[in-house]
Structure 1
């Protein structure tokens, strides 16, 4: 029984990644209206006769979201019954399904009635919370905390502050990135890392401000995670979870920055853009794990 639950947890976590990447694909290819204003059907039909690439992308994303949504619901109920005695299980079970349902409703509302870019930008972030909840639920099922003896970790005040603060800040960076996509501001600045566009000046319109705001936010989180990683390497060598965890986080944020730059240099190459979304998904998962460790470890006052 427990082995089957583990397989379901892993499959659901992978499915959530497909939902996030699929949502980015829909946005990047402008396929949000691939099925017209019809939802959950496509142009009012289960399978329209006139097939287009945008219709296939949108319909596939809806299908994957529906299947994974059922998997999340089953996982939440099953985990609640199997490991409900673990403190975080019920909370994570609720979060995983609630936020997945919420992102589905926002997506449906956007199709039926349309939404502003600022509201649509929340879509990816809401899906990320659901992904993080499923990911952490999977870790609980595999009893990762016991394996790494997380209950013996001691986290000092500075590390506690950084874990919470950078995790919250990462969500703002993610929102700003989603806003870049939804406002179609990805290529409004032809240079990187600055937005010169043939003449050095401050951003001259909303799209340039959105793009440069995201770059500035991404630059800050890169420097911040680099600093925390250096701190962890110096002071947490004997606590391998934090030591290697922050090294992984730094590698992911480096890949995220590189992918962001390559998006500009390759004029919005689709595969690089999807990798950009993948790296931030993984980074948010790692930061969420740090939050879980923070909540379960002894505190050094």
Structure 2
């Protein structure tokens, strides 16, 4: 029992750490601090610890330190949870994913520093970090035994909810990628109005940057409508299964806030706090959608709706 208590606190700390890595990476991108340490990795500007600290150096070097420290936490959590909860079928898979994608995102970050990468490759960086964060989040939920609280082993999920859950979860990664592409191609303010690129006229995008920006807005609009429809379906048919009922209501709230902050990012000309909040919300939404996927595997009987 005491070991379980310590494992819960450790898992919680690791989850917060992964969230800091995500937001730290977004901060590096949004402040153009990626080259704060020059072409040196893992050192910084030819030194193990830089003696000349600028804003860019502070942001980039701090992100590297946090990634390294949290990497150690994730390694310990993976081994610990593997030994303590290896009988739970998802544990080993999630522990492997957390470590694998954390290492992968670190290597992509290092490659960008050493040799540079194209915008379309760099856009994968946030998505890969997101998978690692989500793996740790789901591992933490298993450790806290959320499933026992909501009795998820007795869920009844119909085909409509099942296929929409799978579809919107996969599609959410497309939304994540297009959002990262907006940042890495410097397309954030190419359209100064919202929801159209130019509110005084409806025209097709005229260049690649406008296509990237409006493509992301279209993708975000679709996921908002999709989740709204799923939430309404859950509201009508799943009131007796609280984890599904409240899960989709929360998903709708998050996607609404996500759309709102996306609008405000444009209207406030890239306010840093709002931009980071935008990244936080999509991270939480993706994690929640992946949890709903996990619940699908625990459905023992099927509903007709």
- The TM-score bracket by the shorter chain reads over 0.9
Q: CA deviation at 1:197?
A: 6.9
Show the 5 A alignment for 1:116-131.
116-131=118-133
Separation in 1 of the partners of 2:229 and 2:201?
33
TM-score (norm 1): 0.98
1:49 positional shift: 2.3
Unpaired stretches in structure 2, ≥5 consecutive residues:
none
Residue number in structure 2 paired with 1:24: 26
Aligned to 2:195: 193
Equivalent residue number for residue 46 of structure 1: 48
Query: What SS class does the counterpart of residue 44 from structure 2 fall into?
Result: coil
Structure 2 length normalisation: TM-score?
0.97
Q: Is the contact made by 1:9 and 1:75 (CA closer than 8 Å) also made in structure 2?
A: yes
Secondary structure at 1:120's aligned position in 2?
Answer: helix
Distance 2:33 2:90 in 1: 37
**Conserved in 2, the CA contact under 8 Å of 1:189 and 1:197?**
no
Report deviation, 1:296: 1.6
Specify which of 44, 55, 58 is matched with residue 56 of structure 1: 58
Q: Which residue of 2 aligns with 1:246?
A: 248
What's the CA shift string for 1:121-177, capped at 9, x where partnerless? Answer: 000000111011000101111111112100111000000001100000000000000
SS of corresponding position for 1:191: coil
Cα distance in 1 for residues equivalent to 2:18 and 2:240: 33
**Structure 2: distance between partners of 1:24 and 1:298:** 40
User: What number of residue pairs does the alignment pair up?
Assistant: 301
Conservation of the 8 A alpha-carbon contact between 2:154 and 2:298: no
Aligned positions of 1:1-301 closer than 5 A: 1-196=3-198, 199-300=201-302
Q: Secondary structure at the match of 2:297?
A: helix
Alignment root-mean-square deviation, CA: 1.0
Separation of aligned partners in 2, 1:47 and 1:79: 34
Contact 1:20-1:124 at 8 Å conserved across structures: yes
Unmatched 5+ stretches in structure 1: none
- 1:237 CA drift (Å): 0.6
Q: Which runs of 4+ in 1 moved over 4 A?
A: none
Aligned-pair CA distance for 1:200: 3.5
Q: Residues 96 and 129 of structure 1 are in contact (CA less than 8 Å); yes or no, is this contact kept in structure 2?
A: yes
| Inter-partner Cα distance in structure 1 for 2:34 and 2:200 | 33
